[in-house]
Structures are given as C-alpha cells and as structure tokens.
Structure 1
Amino acid sequence: MAKPNVLWIMADELRTDALSCYGNPHPEIATPHIDSLAARGVLFERAHASSPVCVPARQAMLSGQSPLVSGVLNNEGYLPDGAVAAEMFPETFAASGWATANYGKEHLPGGRSPWQHDDHSGSGMAEVLQRATDNDVEIRRSPGIGHVFSAVLPEHEEVGSETITRSVVEALTAAEGPFLFRASYVQPHKPMVVAEPWASRYAGLNFGVPRSPEQSGNRFEREWGELTRGADLSAEDLDRSFQMYYGCVAWLDDQVGQILRALDQAGLRESTIVVFSTDHGASLGEYGILAKHTFAPESHRVPFIVSWPGVLPEGVRRSDLVVSEDLAPTLLALAELDRPATCTGRDVFSESAPQVVLSAIGYGDTASRAFPNRDAGGWDDGLGWPQRVCARTERYRLDLNTRRAGLPVPPDEADIFLADSLTDLHERTNLVDDPRYATVLGELLPIATAAAARIPAAVVRTEEFRRTRSATNPV
C-alpha cells in the first residue's frame, strides 16, 4: 500500500455541542464543513479527554500514553529528570519517510516539539488580543481569576489565526511525497475574539442557560465554579458567552472548509487520512462554571472524526469509548507503522473497545493550584488543589479526589461523584447514596482508586512554568 498522507485539524476548548453533526438544540447553529467531513468518515460519539486541560491532553494525543502513566497531569507538569520521553507519533512518521509539520498551537511539557517543521504563527493568546487592542475595541472580562472574556473585531478583520489556514493551504498545494500536517487552532479557547459577521451570528438565540452552581453534583465542580465565578456573570454576559463561543466555532468551520477545499483541489482527498479533534471542551457559564478542568461533559467530552474515503466507512457513528491517547496508535496502524512500546492507547479500528476508560487531572501536592500559572486557586484549608481521577463506562461516570497535600485522601474527603449519563445527560445528579447504583459504585470505585495509586511521581516545576510560559503556549 502507498503511504497515506495525514491531515490533522485540531481545535482548542471545543465542545461537542458546538458542532451540528454532534447535535445541538438550536438548528440555527451549523458547522457545514466539519459536518461534511463526518459524512465522509467515522464520528465517535463517546470520545473523552484523557485530562480536561491542555498540556496532558495534548501530550497524550501525540504520545499515545495516558496521563496516568506519563505523570503529566496539569499544565505545569514536566517529565522527571533523566526520564526517557515517550516517542511521539510525528517522530515515528518522520523516521519512516513522512514530511511532518505543525502549524499553530503546540503546548507540551517543557516546550517539547516532535515536528520536523513547527510554526506557531497565529496561535498565541497575546497575538489574538493584540488584534482587539489595535482595533481599539472593548475587551470584556469575566469576574473570575484572570479570564479575558471576549472582544468583537470590525467586519472581516482577521483574528490572526488565519495565518495557520494559509500556511496549511500552501503546504497542501506544494506537497510532494507522504506528509503529516497539523493545523492547530487556539479557537474557540477564550479569549473569544472574532470579527463580524461571526461575532453576532447567533446574537438572536435564547440559550436558556442553567445558572445555579448548587446544581453541580460534587464539591470539586462547585469549588471550581467559585474560582471562575461563572455564577457572577450577568444574564447579558452569560448569553454573550454562548453567542461568541458558537460564533468562534462558525469562524473555525470556515477555516476547515478552506483547508478541505485545498485538499480536494490538490487531488489528495482519497490518499489522505483526515482527523478532526480537540484537546478538551469547556464550560461557558452554565451551572456557574467557566473554562475546563472538570469531568462535566461540557469539558470532558470531545469531538473525534476520522475520514479516509475508500478505506474507512463513510457516514458512520460509533458509540464505543475513546480517549485522547487512542489517536496515536490509530494513525500509526492506518499507516502500517509499528507503535512505540510506550503507547497505552488502542487502534480504534482494529482493537476491541474497553469497558472503562480513565482520565485524571492534577498533582494533589501542597503547592498545587487550580491555576498554576497564576499561583491561584487552592483548597480552602491551604493544603493545595486536589488530584482527581475519573472512570467512565458507556453509561456511567465516577470521579473522586485521590490525592492532596502529597498523600492519598481519606475516604471522607474523596468527594465521590457517580452519574448516570443515560438518564442525566448533563451529569448533575450524584447517585453515590442511591442503593439502586450500589453495584455500579462497587465496580467503578476500585478501578479509579487503583489507577490513582499507580500514577508515577512527576516533576512539577511551578516556578519555572510561570517564568517560561509564553504567548505561543497559553494556558
């Protein structure tokens, strides 16, 4: 078989309900170009982030290794000194003759890059905000810890990330031999900065967002809500949060359309595996929560679409469980390349689906913070932000605090949460004390706690992280 090309289009903080192919209660919200990709490929309905924050999720996608194995569990995580870094799949492709290039955001531990060509132009938060400053438009801010909220640029003004689209289109036009290209956008991550007509595209919609943080079924989410202060958004800004977010996604869909047209015009569609994915989702103010970091479906569930016309089935929707680390072994298998021994993920097209998938976030040390880059967000007793582990089946979600102040948490501080996502789509009701779910709890709790006990020690260089974080690697 001839070596297939790979085109990976990646967003940041993209919720599944922002894509019409994943379903949205508002028929006005449409993403026709991403939908067209799903129509020519396989859409995975139960894909979840291996960790609901940037660095560990991106590390898992590139290495095929779970954060529970690598020990990279938050944005300030580094690999231990002297440790052999897991091989990342672009390195495997390059060693086998593929030309590899990343255009856009990276955000890996210690600034590592596995690409032959790595161009971060157009991917920085500072770059996006500078567009707003240059155009002298209002920048709205949320009331929580340091979140820049949104800004509307004049009609047809560029936000900066169009540079990524142009670079990928040029690369596709000039491509010779097998390639692995990634278009890695920072959108729709906050700050939600976009021009008209995208900014007001959904201004007339009434989103009817639930506001009360008391509807969050566990303390971890309520504490996160207290930090991000989503409940303090005015009704106007809460609606604006959703309107601007979906407007950013509509802009992103337009960029995807430009790339897919270039792929078709170059005659490369049938010889190219196209992947569309994100690192994690985001809460937009519902239930008083902003940003990611929790295992609520808004943050934890992610879109994952794979298309290769003539080889993979088209228009197929699958409900088996997928996590971030499955991307690497899947692409390596499709290209008939051997996976590194450090891979813990599975090839989703040839290997059986697991009954349970695991995710984790945080280190649970005394110095751990919810926002490590700002040294902000500790638990109320000063012992540091907890580590939390999640176990999911196709129907149930269980998560709990597993480590704090450098030690396993006692049972009365575990804040165990169990949800039935079949009957409770937004996963707000805690079923831990419901005797009807005792068997489910008895099965999932030992799995999650055993996984937490095996997490390796990792280096957390908080001071170095705060010193060296850059505009191209924003949090």
Structure 2
Amino acid sequence: MSKKPNILLIMCDQLRFDVLGCYGNKQVQTPNIDRLAQRGICFDRAYSQTPVCVPARHGLIAGQHPFELGLLKNERLAKEIAHPLPELIRKQGYYTCAVGKMHFQPVRKHYGFDRMYLSEEIPTHIENDDYLQFLREQGYGHVIEPHGKRSELYYVPQISELPEHLHTTAWTADTTCRVIGNNRNRPFFLFTSFIKPHPPFDPCMPYDEMYNPEQVPKPARKEHERTPDDYAIDVMNDYKVNGIDSLSMEEELKMRAYYYGCVSQVDKQVGRILDKLESCGLLDDTLIIFTSDHGEMLGDHYSYGKRTFYEASARIPLIVSWPAVLPQGERRDHLALLQDIYATLIAVSGGTVPESSSGRNLIPAATKEQEPSRAKIFAEVGRGRVMKMMLRWGDYKYIYHTNGGKQNLYDLRADPDEWTDIAAHHPELCLHCQKEMVEHYRSYGFAEALDGDRLVRYEPKRHEPQGFLDQSPRWPQTVVDED
C-alpha cells in the first residue's frame, strides 16, 4: 500500500458483548455494529483484564497490565505511562485525535493526541470539557447532569433531559464525522469513545420506548447463588446504591429495557460514522476496531455493574474490520485482551511494539484462523479484601477471591452461563491454577497479590454497604457569571 491506512478505534463504556446481534442477541437492535462485524472479524473470547473504567482504558493506551500502572480500581496512576499509544502512532506520521470519554488523569493529559474533544462522565471544570461548552452554546448550560442523574438515582431508569441531537452520544458521532471529513487526505488515528451505555441508563426519546420491559429477558440467576453465609459474594455496586439487590422484578426489567435503549442509541451513531467513512471513500482502507472497556451485569447472578469476572462483566465485544486486507464476516476463538489493540494499532501504523507491552498483534490471527495466540489470560480487579483474580484458558475459568480464599471453577463449554461451580470437584486443578498465578504475579513483582509463596487471603467477612457515593458534577461551581 502506498498510503498508510487510517485507524479508527471505537469504544463504548460498559457494553456487554451479548447485547449485540453479531454476538447472538436476537432482540436488541444493533444493525450498524452488526454491519461492521459483517465487514470484519469478531473475536469471541476477548476480555477486559481489569473490568473497571480507569484501569481498562489506561492498560489499553499503555499496552501493559493495569496493575503495572498501579491500577486495580478507579484510582490515580501510580506509574507514568512510558510509551503511550497515541504518541507512538503520531511518530509514524499520523494525525492523532481523541473524541468523547477518555477518563485520563489529569483530564487534559494528551498522551500524544494532537487534538482532544472531550465529553467526560463526571466533569469538574467546564473549560476542560468540549461537550459542556457545546451544551452551553446551544442554550442547555442549565443541565447540570447531562449524562443522567447519579448518586442515589445511579441505577434508576430515566429519560434524558436532552433531545437526541444534543445528547453526548450524538455529539461524539458528530465530532468524529467532522474530524474524519477534515482529515480525509492524510492518515489519521482517531479514538472515539462513547460514554453510553454506562449508567445512568437515560436513553432519549424514542429509545426509552423501543423495548417493552415485559418482553425483555429476566436477569439470569438461580437462588443457590445467594447463599447467606457466602461472605465472598460481593453484590456489585452495592457500595454505590443501597438496596439495588432488592429491586422488584418490574424495576429490574425496566432497567434492562432502558439499557438496551442506550445500546441502540449508540448503534445509530456508529452507523453515521461508518456512513461518513464510506462517503469519503475511506471505509475499505480504514482499520476499525470496535470494543468496550468492560461489561455490565444487569442483575445476572444477583450482580450489578462490573468489577467481577463473570462473562457479562469481563468479556467484551472485539470487532476488527479492514476490508482491504482482512477477511470479512468471520469469527475467531483466540483469547484477547484490550492491550492487544495497542500492539495491533502500533504494528499497522508501521511502528515497533515496545518490549514492555503484554499486547499481541491481532492481525495475524485475523488473517489466518489457525494462527496461534496466547494460551491463557491472567486478570485481576479490586484491592484488599475485595480483590479477585482470574485465570482463563481453554474451556475453563478459575476465579480466586482474597476474601476467605474462596475459589470458583467453571467449564464454559459445558456451562456457558456459569451456573455450576466445579471447584470442589477439582482441588488439584485449582491448586495448580493458584501456583500459576503466584508464578505470574511474582514475575511482575506484584506483591499486593501475594503472601509469601501463596496468593493473599483475608479472613472471610461479609460486605457492608457504604451508602450512597456522591458523584455529582462540580463544573457549575467553575462557571463565571457573565452577567
């Protein structure tokens, strides 16, 4: 090729893999994401190593395990990123641009992006957020929480205060399309990141009525999963929203219906981006990767949010499309992580992947189905008593909880819904998994996971809810009264 291919990375926040048509969903309408899948490769075993926003995103742009950056939850980086993805691609002659939610620290740290158009989830300063400035210009500066009411309403289904064309989802696509049009004659790397379907679930009209709550599937769970004396089971997001585990079924189904509405609203805007690439004559020779930073439990297994290694939380969609080079409409069973996107994009841009990266270039696997990939995945999330670790290989998933040393083992081929924990029937295999984890973490000097030559263990203790977490935005305090 005489010209470098354009590169477009599209990320959603908290998007489950199994709500997309291309991953088998028959109810949620995602025709545009499905169209992208038809023009590319779907990876069926892709995971978020640390299924929380900040670690997942920084692990991707660093190409490293999130714990190497000191990230196990939404917290500040403990280590500077040595070789950020945008900087390495920019060195290959690309114009680099970020649009939407980045969740970087500090907010405007560019990591090598030539330009950033931000729409952050919980903005603190209007000057840092392009979307907030846009809303003020449109006469909607009075909307204090444009991404939905948070705190005690975090998981309460709600309708957006904004019309669809002013919603962050439309703004992110509008900005992306403008950047594509303005840079059609030079190679670009564009990282487009939608806030949704992250809670609050606040679709615009008519997406709030697209799915009838009485017709959406009920949460997948069984009563035996709520064993009263099982202290290791953390009800996800209970520390944010008291009582979320005691919602009525009517409330849960409405929550799921509104989540689906948010997904379809994002899908429409993905379609507009694809249409813009096509109208500019760029669609065939643009490498597009579509993914999510993690999933959302939606009440499955009596859990909500992320921060768990159930499939609905940790497994993510990963679509790789480059029609000029790669096969179309195929699937791959290769294990993959978010940092593989790092290695892939650097290689495609013409750069060299740093030795410090744990990422693997996905292009060989996308090109040839039999191309080998990593044999296993190590993953971890949380600190102290709520830390969980996962080892994923073959048909199996092993999960270790530091709270009481509880362990789970699932055969995903025989039990894809993770109903039956077979750890008690395979003690030797579980012990082998623990030894592999110890060896892996010791090789990286990850002391927090270890207690000598064993995985760290805390005496079992029931999780105590901490009440509502105030996540209200602070940006109105920074606005100067122009009168």
Q: TM-score range by the shorter chain?
A: 0.7 to 0.9
The aligned amino acid for 1:246 is: Y
Return 5+ residue gaps in structure 2 as ranges. Answer: 125-130, 365-370, 449-468, 476-483
In the TM superposition, what is the alpha-carbon distance from 1:352 to its structure 2 partner? 3.0
In the TM superposition, residue 225 of structure 1 has moved relative to its aligned partner by 6.8
**Partners of 2:48 and 2:316 within 8 A in 1:** yes
Deviations 1:111-156 (A, max 9, x none): 443222111137557989998985999x7889xx773432114774
Q: How far apart, CA to CA, are the structure 2 residues paired with 1:132 and 1:445?
A: 53
Structure 1: gaps spanning 5 or more residues: 365-384, 403-408, 459-465
- Superposed CA RMSD in Å reads 3.2
Q: CA deviation at 1:30?
A: 2.2
Moved more, 273-282 or 329-338: 329-338
Give the C-alpha shift of residue 257 in structure 1.
0.2
* 1:376 aligned residue: none
1:323 aligns with 2:337: yes
Shift in Å at residue 418 of structure 1?
A: 1.1
Secondary structure at the aligned position of 1:163 is classed as helix
Out of 155, 171, 186, the residue aligned to residue 177 of structure 1 is 186
Change (3 A) 1:136 1:181: closer
SS in 1 for 2:291: strand
Taking structure 1 as the reference length, what is the TM-score of the superposition? 0.81
Equivalence for 2:114:
116
Q: Does 1:451 align with 2:448?
A: no
1:389 maps to 2:403:
no
Change (3 A) 1:264 1:221: farther
Aligned-partner SS, 1:152: coil
Aligned-partner Cα distance in 2 for 1:150–1:51: 26
Q: What aligned pairs does 1:180-191 form with structure 2 within 5 A after superposition? A: 180-191=189-200
* Equivalent pair of 2:395/2:413 in contact (CA under 8 Å): yes
Distance in 1 of aligned mates of 2:173 and 2:254: 27
Letter in 1 for 2:118: H
Query: Aligned in 2, Cα 1:125/1:199: closer, same or farther, shift over 3 Å?
Result: farther
The CA deviation at 1:67 is 1.9
1:177 partner amino acid: R
Aligned position for 2:411: 420
- Counterpart amino acid of residue 29 in structure 2: A
CA contact (8 A) 2:9 2:190 kept: yes
CA pair 216-116 structure 1, distance change in 2 beyond 3 A: farther
CA change 1:326–1:236 in 2 (3 A) is same
Aligned pair 1:166/2:174, yes or no?
yes
Output one character per residue of 1:437-468: Cα deviation in whole Å (capped at 9) or x when no partner: 3453243221223334445469xxxxxxx999
Corresponding residue number in structure 2 for 1:378? none
Q: Paired residue for 2:94, among 80, 92, 98?
A: 98
Instruction: Tell whether the 8 Å contact from 1:15 to 1:298 is kept in structure 2 after alignment.
Output: yes
State, as a whole percentage, how many aligned pairs show the same letter.
Answer: 29
- 2:22 aligned counterpart, secondary structure: helix
Q: Distance in 1 between matches of 2:417 and 2:223?
A: 13
Q: Quick one: which of 195, 201, 204 aligns to 2:204?
A: 195
C-alpha spacing 1:455/1:30, structure 2 compared with 1 (3 Å): farther
- Taking a change above 3 Å as real, the CA distance of residues 206 and 34 of structure 1, as seen in their structure-2 partners, is closer
What is the match of residue 252 of structure 1? 266
Matched, 1:352 2:350: no
SS in structure 2 of the partner of residue 78 of structure 1: coil
Inter-partner Cα distance in structure 2 for 1:306 and 1:432: 35
Cα distance between partner residues in 2 of 1:316 and 1:468 = 42
Q: 1:467 to 1:205 in 2, by over 3 A?
A: closer
Q: Is the CA contact (8 Å cut-off) linking 1:230 and 1:288 kept in structure 2?
A: no
The code of the aligned residue for 1:149 comes to V
**CA–CA distance in structure 2, aligned partners of residues 76 and 91 of structure 1:** 23
1:261 aligns to 2:265 (yes or no): no
Cα distance in 2 for partners of 1:73, 1:469 equals 23
Q: Alpha-carbon deviation of 1:471?
A: 7.2
Shift in alpha-carbon separation, 1:109–1:358, aligned structure 2, 3 A: farther
2:295 aligns with 281
Residue identity in the other structure for 1:360: E
CA distance 1:125–1:147, change in 2 (3 Å)? farther
CA distance in 1, matches of 2:19, 2:92: 37
Task: Check the 8 A contact 1:282/1:290 in 2, yes or no.
Answer: yes
> Which residue of 1 is the match for residue 257 of structure 2?
243
SS at match of 2:71: coil
8 Å contact kept, 1:397–1:419: yes
**8 Å CA contact 1:213, 1:288 repeated in 2:** no
1:22-421 alignment to 2 at 5 Å? 22-24=23-25, 27-80=26-79, 84-111=80-107, 112-114=109-111, 115-121=113-119, 124=122, 134=143, 147-153=154-160, 156=164, 158-175=166-183, 176-203=185-212, 204-210=214-220, 214-215=224-225, 219-224=231-236, 227=239, 229-350=243-364, 352-364=372-384, 385-402=385-402, 413-421=404-412
Instruction: Find the aligned partners of 1:31 and 1:79 in 2 and give their Cα distance.
Output: 38
Residue 182 of structure 1: CA displacement? 1.5
Contact 2:39 2:323 in 1 (8 A): yes
Residue aligned with 2:157, SS: strand
Structure with the bigger percentage of strand: 1
Distance 2:318 2:350 in 1: 21
- Which residue type is aligned with residue 358 of structure 1? F
| Larger deviation, residues 49-58 vs 154-163 | 154-163
| Contact kept in structure 2, 1:201 and 1:247, CA below 8 Å | yes
Question: What is residue 12 of structure 1 aligned with on the other side?
Answer: 13
The whole-number CA distance in structure 1 between the counterparts of 2:13 and 2:87 is: 22
Closer, same or farther: CA 135–334 of 1 in aligned 2, 3 Å: closer
Q: SS where residue 276 of structure 2 aligns?
A: helix
Conserved 8 A contact 1:75-1:109? no
